[in-house]
Each structure stands twice: as structure tokens, then as C-alpha cells.
Structure 1
Amino acid sequence: MQVTETLNEGLKRGYAITVTAAELDEKVNEKLAEAQPEIEMKGFRKGKVPMPLLKKQFGPRLLGEAMQESIDGAMSKHFEDSGERPAMQPEVKMTREDWKEGDDVEVEMSYEALPQIPEVDLRTLSLEKLVVKAGDAEVDEALANLAESAQDFEARDEGAASEDGDQVVIDFVGKVDGEAFEGGSAEDYPLVLGSNSFIPGFEEQLVGVKAGEEKAVTVSFPEEYGAEHLAGKEAVFDCTIKEVKAPKAAAIDDELAKKFGAEDLAALKTQVAERLEAEYAGAARQVLKRGLLDKLDEMVTFDLPPSLVEAEAKQIAHQLYHEENPEDKGHDHGEITPTDEHNKLAERRVRLGLLLAELGQKAEVEVTDAEMTQAIMNQARQYPGQERQFFEFVQQNPQMRQQLRAPIFEEKVVDYVVELAEVSEKEVTKDELQKAVEALEDDE
């Protein structure tokens, strides 16, 4: 077997691999000799089938296996001897289209090598960690939001007109072409105006009504309405307004606390403070991580595999296209050409991805089975009733497992780097933290 370098330009590599016909024949004979004792054939005892007959019967299939194993072996030995790692799956193709049994096998292998990553002294990194305490004002604000979410409704003064956000208690009968239709009637129905729980246009027409009034509401069912006999049809709902109620936030007391699973108001305040500080810590980590990545990006420079950058730029362009065109749900929009901005962002992501992978490998950072299981469970919750199928899909799909593993690995590498860096804490307000987080989103 002969491996000859044909290209060495930047990170691009090319090699010609030749496997002689004699080598292939020897490997086929080895496979036949190994299998011969177990082979049975009509007219011969087990293990006594002559080699020439075995070769005629099984040789062509084993020749293909021998070719594949020889080429794979040559590639593995090359990467082992050279210490290089391909950025993506190497491209391998036979160079002789007229190849026939008895000829040497000649193939071309080409790939882009992963670059040598320069050493980084992580102890020279200086990072700033924002800290926000959950004070009384923040806790009170959160409690007020909880009270509003647990709101009740109380009757407005007699003769008061309904407003958006009010609850109106109504009896109604819906008719199409003058005939009442099934499912179109109800009594004492509590409808919150502005909740968009009814057909578009229905709730708006009940703004300004008073208790005791009757109101004919005319709407059209959407064309895509679930019931075909009503889709696109105009309907009139004869409504009787029985009560008009204004929203009223729940009182901030022990009863509210019990609604949210706390023993009393003091316990609820403690829970709220802990939750707020956890949220602040999560947001502060985002800011810290961006600062870390920015500094690492400034510290290292190395050649990037063009194929990785191109693939990342296309993915960025595709993702941004759908974010900007949410109405386009499919992928038949044709090729989206990345801009210079997309390419620049792709270069940064690839550079940092390769650097973090190198740092993680040297630090022997690992993603545990328990962490992977938790990640799969979290993802599976998005498919209620199909959790088992999702688990099976992930188990059978290496690419999906890598997608779930990658962010866990990255976060663990970030933790490792932060531990070695010099980190100073800076206490800020909630608003200052919010501005810092918004600045991150603006830079993306």
C-alpha cells in the first residue's frame, strides 16, 4: 500500500492511496481461510469446501470488503501517524472508472485539517461578574405581578360600561342564515374582553356594554375554521349581558401565598427572592460568558477550515432569514447567500468553537451520561405524549446526540475557564443588568 501527498496548501490536504491487486488478493484469501471451517456447501463436509470454489462463490463480495477495509485502514494510519484531524469527513473517490478485478485500486483522499490551536494562559484573563441582589423593591414588584396573575373580578357599579380587560358574564345564541347552530350557545359564560378566546372581532364588540343590555354581535368565522360547515360563514350572536366585572388584583397576603404553594406570605417572599436572584445570576452569566468569549477571540489567531466557516455562515444566513420571514415555514426558498456580516460572525463562531473544544479536551472535560439523559428529557418535554419516540430517535441519531451534547460541553468548558481566570464582582441594579443583557442581543 502506498500513500503519496498530492496537496499541502494551508489547511487543505490531498493524498493518493494505492492498494495493489496482490494486497487485495491476500486479504481476500485471509478472509476465506478464516471463514472456511464454518462453511457448508452441497457435496462437501463442513469446513472441507475447496478454496478455489470458495473464492469463486464469495470472492467478489469479499473483494469489496477488502477494498473498503484497506482504504479505511490507510486513512486511519495516516491520521494516527500525522496527528492531523480532519475538519469534516474526508472526501474519498476512486480515480479509475475502468477499474476491474485484478487491477490495483487507486483512490484520492482530500480534506481540510483542523488547525493547530495556540496555547492560551487562562490565568491572565480578567473578567467582571455582575451581581444583583433581590431587594425589597424587586420582591414587592414580583409579588404585585403574582397578585395580578391571580386576579379576580368584582362587579362594576350599576350602569357602568365594560372596558377592555373586564369580564362580562353573558348568555348567547349563535345563528348562521338565521338558524342556530350546534355549539353556538351558552349561558352564564364568563368572557374576559381582550383574551382573544372567541372568534376575531367578537370581544371588541362587547366593549362598552352594560349589565342588562342585549347586543347582536356579527362576526365571520375564519376560512380555516375547524368546523367546515361554519368556515368562512357570517354569524350573528344574540348576547344578553348579565354582569360586567372589573379585574381586581388578589390581595398580597397568606392566601395568595398558599395559591402559589407557600406556607405563608413570609415563605412566599423568600421563594420569590431566591427565584429572582437565580434569574439575575443566569442573566449575569450570559454577560460574563460574552465577555469571556470576546477576550478569547482577541487572544487567539489561527487559520480556519474554509468548509467549516462556509457551513456555519450558511446556517447563520438560513436562521436569520426565517427569523426575518416567520411566515415562510418551508425550506423551498432557494439558496440564501451569506453576507460579509454572516461570514464574519461565522469565523468568530468557528474560531471560538475550535478553541473551546481544544481547551475542553486538554482539561478532560466530559459530558456525563446523567447530564445527557437530563438534556434529552428536557427536550422530550416539547413533544408531550411522544417522549418515548423522541428518546428512541435520539438513541438512533448520532447527529442529534451531538447537538444536545455540544451546549453542555461548552458550558462546562466556560466553567473551567472562569475558575482559572481572575474574576471580580461588581454589584449593579436590576436595570443595569437588563441593559447589559440587551446590549448582548443588539450585538448578535
Structure 2
Amino acid sequence: MKVTQEKLPASQVGLEIEVSADVTQKAYNNAVSKLARTVNLPGFRKGKVPRQILIQRLGSGRIKATVLEDLIDDSLKAAIDQEKIEALGNYKLTSSFDELIANYKPGEPFTFKASVDVPASVTLGTYKGLEFKAEQTDYDPSKLDEFVEQKRSEAATLVPVEDRGAQMGDVAIADYEGRYVNDAGEEEGEIIPGTQAEDFSVEMEEGKFVPGFIEGFIGMKLEETKKFVVTFPEEYGNEEMAGKDVSFTATLKELKERELPELDDEFASDISNEEFETLDAWKASLEEQFKKNAEITTKNSVRQQMLDLLAQNNEVDLPEVSVNEEITAVLSQQMMEFSRMGIDINQIFTKDMVPKLRENARPEAEQRLGNSLILTEIAKVEKIEPDEEKFNERLEQAKSEIEQDFDEDRLKEAITEEIVIEATLDWLQEQSKIEFVPAGTLEAEAEETEETIEVEAEEEEE
């Protein structure tokens, strides 16, 4: 069998396969014999149909199609074995099947083309001595104070208010309805769907609702009805309402203020489910946690910037079959996260929505897969091995947490890969020159760059 290979994009190999004349004749004879044994034709007993009658009744096109289905499949498998190709998933026939039927003649050489996915290839470029900026997140005591006050607010008792108007921090119970405002500044008649509610609990805190909505309730007193206009943001999720002025008519039915608990040992014990007996002990634990979170945030910034550079400097050719598997893994992870949050995944992962969800998950899947392959290749080149003690600890922990049956070999493989990738990232960081900048700096620089690009694009259009 003559096989010609061609490297294709997306980690594919193109194959041009020439099948010898004797094989095409044998395949034809076998197919006709099989049809003669299995086809039922009126006037003939099963398996007793004469060859010429069979060909005449079924037609040469149908018979050749039957021959080629098996011939192509068998020839492709033989070609992959012959060429020692590590194929992933199913093949794709790139020749026109109709043209193949028309050109096929038993007893003559037969040529067709197909492509197969092969394992991803990684071409390493620069990965040592990287130079980049990363954000340094420092422990901020004020964030701890904000967290403590938030917990006090969550544990607060709601007390009715009758002698003053509504103010920030209150909880207002109100009826409201919204209508569009026309160009003349007048309300239109129809209530906008989704902008009407009765006995709705409005937590008067900044950022809780559309800008301007909470502010509309400030100063309102019990049983008061008030109109106020809110301009919905241009980027609002409901495109029909985005950028529009909406006039709300609201009636305040109840008003409550939060009575905060005392910040003392009793509060600390209650809020921590009796884990800590004193306020000082609880705060000390929180401080340790906040400091650790700041270190993790800094580490994540370093790794993200490093991964971005690695993706730029190193080439990865990803097979579609692997990308699709990673997309499935991304969506499975999202489903588990939604389930933990109490969200009904059946409302999100519907039959109609799945194709769109898969499309949206593709960039993340390609990035995750590419990063993993680059790091694995670097580990191989640099001979980075997993730490045995860390491996054993993770393995025992994983076994204790998994409740159903599992494949221990696959678990060990996954843990090994995870530890090696972590070790490789640590090794790369040691090899890099990092300039630490305050948190938020890189995001601001990226936004500024994006705005500059947009302005330049607009100028070019003009």
C-alpha cells in the first residue's frame, strides 16, 4: 500500500492512500458475495440470487458504495498501522465520496484522501529568563475591618423605622413599576416587563441595583409615593433597556434599619460557630487568612503573566479531538460549580444552549490545554520530577475525599501531572526577572492600551 503523508494545521496528518488493484477486486468480490447471502429479492431464495441479477437489481452505484465503505475503513486502518501513526479519534474522509464511487473500478488501483488527528505537538521557544511585570498584593488591614463589619451587618437585627426618611444602609419594602421615558420627557403607558414588583425588599447599599435606583428611595417616608428616573447603562444585559431612561413609580410600605451586634467575644464565638472563644483569637485567624490570600493573589498574578509570555513564545498545535475533550471538562467544572451554588443546571445546560456554551468555552479550553502541554514539555526537557512526599500526601488526601469507585492508576497520573506542572511553574519563576507593581496597575495599563487601539482604529476609518 502506497501512503503519502502531509502535515496539516490543528495537529492533523493528511493521508493519500493508494490501494492496489488486487485488493480493490477482492473487496468487490467479498461485498457482492455478502450481499448475495443477505439481500432478499422477490422470486429468489435468500442466498441464491445470481450475481448478475443482484448487480442489475441493486445497481452498480449502491454496490460500489457498499464496497468503498469497508474498503476505505480497512485501508485507512492498515495505512495508520503501516506508517505507525498515533491517531486520535476517528478519521475524516477529505475526498468526495460521490466522486470516489464514480471513479472506482474493481481490479484497478484506487486512491483516496483522508485526515486524522494526532497528538499535540509543542515547539519550545524562549522560556528561561523571562522578564515581565506582575501585581504585588499586600495585606491591607482595612479589608479585614470591612469584612468584620460585613459580618456584623449580616448578623444585624432589622428594626422598624417610622420617624425618618430612608437612608443608605436601610432595608426598604416597596412596590414599584417602571415605564420608558420618551424624547419629550414623558412617561409611556406600558409597564416594562421585569420592572414591576410588590413588597420587594430593597437593600439600600451601593452597587446592589442599577445606578440611580437605590438613590431614588433616599429620603422617602412610610406610605410615600415617589417618581424618579433611572438611566440604564449602555452595557446593561437587557439590550432593549440598555441606554434607555426609565421612570419608576415607587411606594414605600416598610422601612427597617440594621441594629448591629456588639463587637465582642460573644459575637466572635457566634459568627465562627464557636471555633473561637475570643474576638482577638478570631481576628488573629482572619489576619492570617487575609495575609495568605494576598500571597496567593500575588502568586496567581506572577503565574498568569508568565503563562501569557509562554503562550506567546512557544508554539502548540492542538488536535480538535483534544480541544473538544477539554471543552467538555470546562463545562463539567462549571456545572459542578453551579450545583454547589444551588443553581438549577437544567435551566442553563439546555439542548439549545449547549452548542453556544461549548463555543464560549473554547478559548478557555484551548488556553488551558496549551498551557498544560507547554509546561509538560518544559518539565520533560528540564527533567523536572514530582516530589515523592508531596505525591503521597496528595494521593492519600484524594483517596479520603473520593466516595465512589475510582481508577487508581488514572488518579496517580493526574496527581503526578499536577505536581510536575506546579514544580515547573516554580522553576520558571526562579529563572525569571519580575518587576512587581501595585495591584490594579496592569489592568489599568491594559485598558489604556485598548482605548488607544480603539482611537487609532477610529482615526484610520475617518
- State the TM-score, normalized to the length of structure 1: 0.50
AA at the equivalent of 1:67: L
1:166 paired with 2:177, answer no
- Between the aligned partners of 1:184 and 1:76, the Cα distance in structure 2 is 65
Name the residue aligned to 2:62. 61
AA at the equivalent of 2:267: E
AA at the equivalent of 2:147: A
AA at the equivalent of 1:281: I
AA at the equivalent of 1:377: M
Name the residue aligned to 2:299. 284
- Between the aligned partners of 2:368 and 2:78, the Cα distance in structure 1 is 32
Q: Is the 8 A contact 1:372 1:405 kept in 2?
A: no
- Alpha-carbon spacing, 1:394–1:236, altered in 2? closer, same or farther (3 Å): closer
Deviation at 1:164, TM superposition (A): 3.9
Q: Is the 8 A contact 1:85 1:114 kept in 2?
A: yes
- Between the aligned partners of 2:7 and 2:123, the Cα distance in structure 1 is 24
Percentage of identical aligned residues: 15
Question: What is the 5 A alignment of 1:211-226?
Answer: 215-218=224-227
Question: What is the 5 A alignment of 1:258-297?
Answer: 258-259=270-271, 263-264=275-276, 266=281, 270=285, 273-274=288-289, 277-278=292-293, 280-281=295-296, 284-295=299-310, 297=312
Residues 343-379 of structure 1: CA deviation (Å, up to 9, x unaligned): xxxxxxxx3x43xx69xx9xxxx98x99996565336
AA at the equivalent of 1:294: L
Question: What is the 5 A alignment of 1:273-422?
Answer: 273-274=288-289, 277-278=292-293, 280-281=295-296, 284-295=299-310, 297-298=312-313, 300=314, 351=315, 353-354=316-317, 374=333, 376-378=335-337, 384-387=343-346, 390=349, 403=362, 409=369, 412-413=372-373, 414=375, 415=418, 416-420=420-424, 421=427
Q: Is the 8 A contact 2:86 2:119 kept in 1?
A: yes
- Between the aligned partners of 2:227 and 2:197, the Cα distance in structure 1 is 13
Stretches of structure 2 lacking an aligned partner (at least 5 in a row):
179-186, 188-195, 232-237, 239-244, 376-417, 451-462
Q: Is the 8 A contact 2:152 2:261 kept in 1?
A: yes
Deviation at 1:294, TM superposition (A): 1.5
Count of aligned positions: 355
- Alpha-carbon spacing, 1:96–1:47, altered in 2? closer, same or farther (3 Å): closer
Name the residue aligned to 2:415. none
AA at the equivalent of 1:27: A
- Alpha-carbon spacing, 1:406–1:195, altered in 2? closer, same or farther (3 Å): same
State which of 197, 214, 219 in structure 2 corresponds to 1:208: 219
Question: What is the DSSP-based 3-state SS (H/G/I as helix, E as strand, rest coil) of the residue aligned with 2:95?
Answer: strand
Residues 1-48 of structure 1: CA deviation (Å, up to 9, x unaligned): 766689999x99987666678754431322343565555555555544
- Between the aligned partners of 1:125 and 1:374, the Cα distance in structure 2 is 34
Q: Is the 8 A contact 1:139 1:273 kept in 2?
A: no
Q: Is the 8 A contact 2:31 2:66 kept in 1?
A: no
Name the residue aligned to 1:143. 148
- Between the aligned partners of 1:443 and 1:199, the Cα distance in structure 2 is 28
Question: What is the 5 A alignment of 1:172-183?
Answer: none
- Alpha-carbon spacing, 1:431–1:208, altered in 2? closer, same or farther (3 Å): farther
- Between the aligned partners of 2:203 and 2:335, the Cα distance in structure 1 is 38
- Alpha-carbon spacing, 1:378–1:239, altered in 2? closer, same or farther (3 Å): closer
- Alpha-carbon spacing, 1:431–1:13, altered in 2? closer, same or farther (3 Å): closer
Q: Is the 8 A contact 2:230 2:246 kept in 1?
A: yes
Deviation at 1:139, TM superposition (A): 3.9
Stretches of structure 1 lacking an aligned partner (at least 5 in a row):
177-182, 226-231, 301-350
AA at the equivalent of 1:270: S
Residues 211-238 of structure 1: CA deviation (Å, up to 9, x unaligned): 7xx634246999xx9xxxxxx9999666
- Alpha-carbon spacing, 1:221–1:111, altered in 2? closer, same or farther (3 Å): same
1:28 paired with 2:28, answer yes
AA at the equivalent of 2:152: A
- Alpha-carbon spacing, 1:406–1:185, altered in 2? closer, same or farther (3 Å): closer
AA at the equivalent of 1:61: R
- Between the aligned partners of 2:99 and 2:26, the Cα distance in structure 1 is 21
- Between the aligned partners of 2:121 and 2:210, the Cα distance in structure 1 is 62
AA at the equivalent of 1:255: F
Question: What is the DSSP-based 3-state SS (H/G/I as helix, E as strand, rest coil) of the residue aligned with 1:217?
Answer: strand
Name the residue aligned to 2:190. none
Q: Over the residues paired in the alignment, what is the CA RMSD in angstroms?
A: 6.6
Q: Is the 8 A contact 1:215 1:238 kept in 2?
A: yes
Deviation at 1:127, TM superposition (A): 9.4
Q: Is the 8 A contact 2:64 2:101 kept in 1?
A: no
Deviation at 1:288, TM superposition (A): 1.5
Deviation at 1:289, TM superposition (A): 3.8
State which of 244, 267, 276 in structure 2 corresponds to 1:255: 267
Question: What is the DSSP-based 3-state SS (H/G/I as helix, E as strand, rest coil) of the residue aligned with 1:255?
Answer: helix
- Alpha-carbon spacing, 1:57–1:372, altered in 2? closer, same or farther (3 Å): farther
- Between the aligned partners of 1:390 and 1:419, the Cα distance in structure 2 is 36
Deviation at 1:60, TM superposition (A): 3.5
- Between the aligned partners of 2:104 and 2:227, the Cα distance in structure 1 is 81
Residues 364-402 of structure 1: CA deviation (Å, up to 9, x unaligned): xx98x99996565336779944549949899999x7899
- State the TM-score, normalized to the length of structure 2: 0.49
Q: Is the 8 A contact 2:338 2:345 kept in 1?
A: no
- Between the aligned partners of 2:94 and 2:334, the Cα distance in structure 1 is 33
State which of 92, 97, 104 in structure 1 corresponds to 2:95: 92
- Alpha-carbon spacing, 1:283–1:436, altered in 2? closer, same or farther (3 Å): farther
- Alpha-carbon spacing, 1:51–1:394, altered in 2? closer, same or farther (3 Å): farther
